[in-house]
Each structure stands twice: as structure tokens, then as C-alpha cells.
Chain A
Amino acid sequence: MTRSGTGSGTRSDTHSGSPLRLTEREQQMLDGRDGEAVALCMRLVTGVARASGAPRLLEVASAHVDGCLYHGRAGLDFAERLVETGGRVSVRTTLNVGSLDLLHPWLVRDQEIAASGRRLMQAYVELGCEPTWSCAPYQSGHRPALGSHVAWAESNAIAFVNSVLGARTDRYGDFLDIAAAVTGRAPDAGLHRDEARRAVLVLDLSGVSRALLEEDVAWPLVGAVLGARAGTRVAALTGLPGDLADGGRTEDRLKALGATAASSGGVALFHVVGVTPEAPTLEAVAAPGAPTLSVGTADLRAARDELSTASGDRLDAVSLGTPHFSLTELAALADLLRGGAPFADGVDVWVSTSRRVLDEARALGYVDPLLAAGGRVLTDTCTYVTPVLRPGTGVVMTNSGKWAWYAPGNLGVDTVLGSLAECVASARAGRVVRDERLWG
């Protein structure tokens, strides 16, 4: 995959020139009237607001916090400082994955991460956040309204809430997410503003095989190409099928697309013309003079090969559910598994999802076929942020472009990107099985 285009954007990096103005209430928060935790959070929010040239702060309707994943002592020191100084969220706040599965803690192999990760998760709950422990809070009932301002972290969640739900968040990271949740404020900058949400690049996918686009594997690959072409810029995609009212299928596809685009590039917002809410037509969403690039089946195939670092047919594990599997994805997996052969000995099959989706899926009978085949479910965390895989695992197959992008660096494993059906067939065979018919 090439990374063209990230340096020549029409993205606006110019400072607005107007100094940040706070309301009287905001100034009181900064001055410590609401306590030291609020003041510290306000220093972070205003620090970022000044750097980004925001003229004012916005009130946010909700937050999604990624800071509960353990990355070392600094994150824990920060959360515990907020707890000690009386911090409390002021808007609805969901939590991203943590570093361990609280329901199945024995699955995490590193005890230091487990102990510190548990303390960190506990601190965020003490701040008043909901223990959703999911990178896909939009599958657990947290779905902000079209046009509302929110402060969300975690790159796939940011891309989804902006693009698919049409709520507005900038690319928040650890610390600013909880700072916005505590203060209820975020800088009026970046993707909160109309002008920044317009597409400065158009990707025309009408040349991609229609049959391939009916396969789940096509969508992370579209995301990989989008990330490579767009970098951090906002793009509009034309020539893609979809209907967000189809019961979850299109939503799952766009989730996979956005998660991969946010990994291979820095995509925080994309528009699918005729499908996503801000793009009824190309004219409605594209900035004047936005160039158009054509993307074909060969580009998707090249992306698949780049995201597949393994050669040969060795297979040690299969990782599904990154971002967390939805109910519709668990249903599709159950359909593939019912009445079929169990997974081969020596191939560990992991499915990551949220507690809430797992409960719903269990009630609907979607989980039993997975367990009967020898697969395992991981909640609260995910297989590329946490030492879950068996030592010595060399080759892992996944249907997630994000997993395939990060796992070689994070976990030192080789990857094979495939469709859900290819992952199941491979897990049963005990070796990588490809369905080359998909690729013409």
C-alpha cells in the first residue's frame, strides 16, 4: 500500500487568529471553584483549544473514554489523581476496552498488566463512567444524535460516530476524553466545525467488482485503501452499496471500513454518498475542486496482500471481533458454524465482543455454536491490546483490517486477512484456506 497524499492536503491548519474566550462559568472551572480535578481537566481542554485555534468551547452531550486501557504508569497516575481530587463525569460517558477481561481474568497472561490494568479500570468507574468496556459503544446503546457535539476517543469509535451517526467529535485521545467528560466541554475546532467536515478528496469505487462488495472482506480493504489515500483528510466514497436501515449489515461494513481507515491512515470522518447521513449527494458533501481517485478490484487485492504478512498455510489462531463483534456478526458466525465440523486442534479461535452484545447473543442462541466448535469469547478487552494469545503463536488469521494492521508490531505475529467464511474454513482445516473465486 502506498501512502500518497498525506502531505498535500487542502486541510486547514491555519490558526483562526481569534483568542480563546471562556464563559464566566468556564473561567470559574479553570480557577478551581469546582475543585482541583475540574481545574486540571479544564487546563487540558483549554490547552488543546488554544493549540487548535478554537475561539470558544462547546458543550458536549456525551463522551467515550479510551483512557482505561493500560499503557504504563502515566495513565494510571493521571486517573488516580482525578479520583483523589474528587473528579466526576458531568455527561454520559462510556468506557472503551480495558487491559483485562474482568469476567474471565485468567485469560490475561501478564500479571503486572492485569494488576495495574484492573486498578486503572476501577479508577474510571469511580469517576462515574459506565463500565461498557467496549470499543464499539454504538453497539451497546450509546448512539448520539445526528449533529450533536460529543467527545469521543478510540479511532474506530471516532470514525463511526462521525461518519455513520453524524454526531460531531474531533480526534480525541486519552486524557482529553475524560477531561471533556468531567468539564462537559470540548474545543470548538476540527471536526466540530462545518467547514472541516467537507470532503476534500473523492474515491470512486464504481470499478470494484460488485460481487466482491457483497463479501465482508471487501470492506476493511476499502478502508485500507481509504486510509492510504486520504491520510487524515476527509474523503467521500462513491460507488458503494448500502442502506443504514438494513438491520445492521451496512453498519457492520462501515464499522470495518472506518476501523481500518483509522489505522492505515488517520481517518476520523468519511462520507459514503447515498448511505451516510451527511452525504445524500456528492454535491452536498464535497468541497469545491475536490479531486477524484478511482479505486478498483486490484487495489483491494493489493491491500489484502499487504495486510497478510504470512506466507504458506500455517495457522495457529483466528481472531475475530476487532472492533467488537455486533449481534449481526455473531449471528452470521453462528450460521456458518451450525452443524459443521469443530475447529482443528492447535488453532485457537477468539471472538471479542462487549458484555451487552454477548448477553443478547447468548439469549438468541448465537454463542453456543461457537463454544461447541471449540471457540472462545473475550469481553471487556481485545486480543491485540492484551496478552491473550498462547506463547509461540506465529500466524493468526483475522477478518479485521485493524487487527491485521497492528498485530505484527504489537504482538510479533504474522497475519492473514480473510473473510469470515475463510476464517471459519481455515480454523476447521487447521491451515489457511483461501477462496480465490472472490478475487476474479
Chain B
Amino acid sequence: MNASGAELTGESLHPGTARGPLLVLTEPVSFWGGVNADGVVVDRHHPQRGTSVAGRVVVMRDGRGSSSASAVLAEQIRSGHAPAALLVGERDAVLLLGALVAAELYGVRMPVVWLDGFALDRLCSDDEVEVRAGDPPGPATVRPCVAAR
């Protein structure tokens, strides 16, 4: 989060609330083939290989790779190995679908929030944030948790 810890506003793509440490992906990763069932990045080409996305507020500037990522994400949400929330820079349907289906089948709502490049630039890995996303296409907020620092 930026030095002043200001709240960032984006657009809700999928509703929900979540809290967790940020994980800013430095390169795109495909959830199919690139992240395993336990939520660990296994893409051999990825600089953050070995990092877990589970329980993190994951920041993805770009989507990448296989369209099977939706099912992998839905299964991670079911089994409790998914990110706490996704903050995305692209209106990519693939991960959104995983969140939509998990909500339909299991009632678990993992928020997905679109942020512009200016807001994405203000996010730093490991900072604790709270994400609140209303019904789409309404607003969503990403707020630093000062107490956690």
C-alpha cells in the first residue's frame, strides 16, 4: 500500500469481503498448470515459484494461459486453498467464472475487484488489506489494515 495508506477504489466484478496479506504477482501466472491444488505457484518459468496464493489478496495485472483456470480456482475455493480475494487489472472472464461458480455451488464468495493501473501500482506484497466488493458493477474498496503493521 502507498505511504499514506489511503483507501483505493475499484469496480466490483464479484461481490464479497475478505482480509489478508497482499501478494503482488510480478508476472502473469495461469491457475491451470501454473498453480497447484494447494494454491502453490509451480510454474517453473515464474519468479515467484513456490509461493502460496492461499489466503492472500492476490494482485494480477494480466491474465495468462489456459482457459481451464476457472475450474482450478473453483476447486481451490471449495477446498479452502484459494486466494482470499483477487485484484485484477484486466476484465478477464476466466478467473471470474471460478468465483461465480463457487458462489453458486458452495455459497463461498471470493471477491474479485478491477483496479486501474494507478491503483495497482500502489499495492505492495505482504501489506495486510481489507477488500469489500458490492454487487457488480458497483464500487469496491481496498483498505489497508493499519493495526496489522
Contact = CB atoms under 8 A, between A and B. Distances in A.
Interface of A: 1, 3, 6-7, 11, 13, 15, 19, 40, 43-44, 47-48, 50-53, 66-67, 69, 71-75, 77-78, 81, 153-155, 158, 170-177, 187, 189-190, 231-232, 262-263, 265-266, 306, 309, 405-406, 408-410
B61 A6 contact: yes
A137 to B, nearest CB: 14
A315 to B, nearest CB: 19
B100 A81 contact: no
Contacts, number: 165
A266 B65 contact: yes
A381 B94 CA distance: 22
B37 interface: yes
Interface of B: 11, 13-14, 27-28, 32-34, 37, 42-45, 61-72, 74-75, 77-79, 89-94, 96-98, 100-102, 104-106, 112, 114, 116-117, 136-137
B43 A409 contact: yes
Contacts of B45: 1, 306, 405
Given A48-B97, A175-B100, A409 B34 contact: yes
B62 A51 contact: no
Contacts of B66: 154-155, 262-263
B78 A48 contact: no
Given A15-B11, A173-B70, 8 more contacts: A1-B45, A53-B137, A74-B77, A74-B78, A158-B67, A171-B63, A171-B94, A263-B65
Nearest to A170: B93
B91 A75 contact: no
Q: Which of A52, A170, A175: most chain B CB closer than 10 A?
A: A175
A175 B68 contact: no
A354 to B, nearest CB: 18
Contacts of B64: 6, 231-232, 265-266
A347 to B, nearest CB: 23
A232 B63 contact: yes
B37 A72 contact: yes
Q: Which of B61, B71, B74: most chain A CB closer than 10 A?
A: B71
B12 to A, nearest CB: 9
A154 B68 CA distance: 7
